[in-house]
Amino acid sequence: MSQRLSRRDFMKTGAAAGVGLALPRDVEATAPAVIVRRSRPVVVSSRNGHVYRHDGTLTCVETVFQEMTGGTDILDSVLEGVKINELDPGDASVGYGGLPNGDGVVQLDASCMHGPRKQAGSVACLEGVRTPSFVARAVMANTDHHLLVGPDAQRFARNMGFTIEDDLNSDDSRDRWLEWRRRIDPSRWPGEEDRERIGFLSGMEMVEEGLIDAEHYWGTINCNAVNSQGEVAGCTTTSGLAWKIPGRVGDSPILGAGLYVDGEVGAAGSTGRGEANLFNLTSFLIVENMRRGMSPLDAGMEGLRRIRDNTVERRLLDEEGNPSFNVRFYVVNREGEYAGVTLRGEGEYAVCTENGPEFAPFEALL
């Protein structure tokens, strides 16, 4: 007497029969292939990302590459890298020892974005914490917000367990501020007819005299990375414009300006004149250009053209009618293609791939 089949057994038998009918007898049935995305692992950053080592042997880009290829989370890897610059007083553009504002106070800004999780966090005008990038990540991980500022950002950092210091000046950063203060009264506000006396030009004199590294005067590190799974993350951290008006916030902590990451597309971040980048939200524009199919290089150059075309104030133009300042972008797409572009001049940026770290030349618009 035949055994009666349950509905579940019938469905299993039917499915098996269907497979048997669909395949030739000499072809073995196999499970569908799983498509795994593979990208070229790469880290790109501003030049200082392969200059400073703090107390270790690796630079920022080397550290990020080692961490992410070893299985560390993509954003955690980036932060471990930029932390080296934040803690090294030799890098006067970020973190501890960063060039202070007009009152001699080091105020720090930072932003970070995690592509796979589609999360972001930022802090601005943060005082007393050497690693603002990690506070930005804490904002991302522990709040429903993207940006905290000033004393309240510091209070948040304290509540998260960060050490708060009274003064983040190093001996060098304080000496440079005192030299600047000797040259110019920082309480004087510039008028249209006395531009020669503003603090900016006094700072430029110090750059020309070799007292300040030109790249440190604006001061920033941007670092973006993509791992072999095509996961993207980025961070921008800075002490901002040297001798800035207290409370001034540049582009670095503003999503879409100093940094933008889209996990499906890529990342872009910047250094240079933050106000020009803020006005155009250029990092967002560059990533959107890549979304539409542009290469990192073409997307970056188109972003620079937008800045050039929107700069019309006479005080910001050179004799040829072009912007007299500089802005640079560091761009990577999800496939691991990358580029560094600069509005004007020459220079180089840092890259690390499976072939090791190196400096690569910028492509210039002007």
C-alpha span between 304 and 85 (Å, rounded): 27
Please give the angle made by the CA atoms of 328, 78 and 364, to the nearest 5 degrees: 15
Please give the angle made by the CA atoms of 100, 103 and 106, to the nearest 5 degrees: 30
CB 146, CB 120: distance < 8 Å: yes
C-alpha span between 101 and 241 (Å, rounded): 8
Report, in angstroms and rounded to the nearest whole number, the Rg of the chain calculated over CA atoms. 25
C-alpha span between 175 and 164 (Å, rounded): 22
**Would strands 119-126 and 147-149 be described as parallel, antiparallel, or unpaired?**
parallel
In three state form, how does the secondary structure of 148-189 look? EEHHHHHHHHHHCCCCCCCCCCCHHHHHHHHHHHHHCCCCCC
Selecting among 220, 236, 237, 311, the annotated active-site residue is 220
Among 247, 337, 354, residue whose Cα is nearest residue 299: 337
Among 242, 248, 250, residue whose Cα is nearest residue 201: 242
**Would strands 221-226 and 327-333 be described as parallel, antiparallel, or unpaired?**
unpaired
Residue 125 in tokens = 């005008």
Would you call 72 a catalytic residue per the annotation? no
63: left (phi over 0), alpha (psi -120 to 50) or beta: alpha
Among 292, 316, 314, 319, residue whose Cα is nearest residue 303: 292
Map tokens 């020459």 to a residue: 346
Q: How many CB atoms lie within 10 A of CB 359?
A: 13
For residue 243, the 8-state DSSP code is T
List the alpha helices (DSSP H) in 70-105. 74-87
Instruction: Report the catalytic residues.
Output: 220
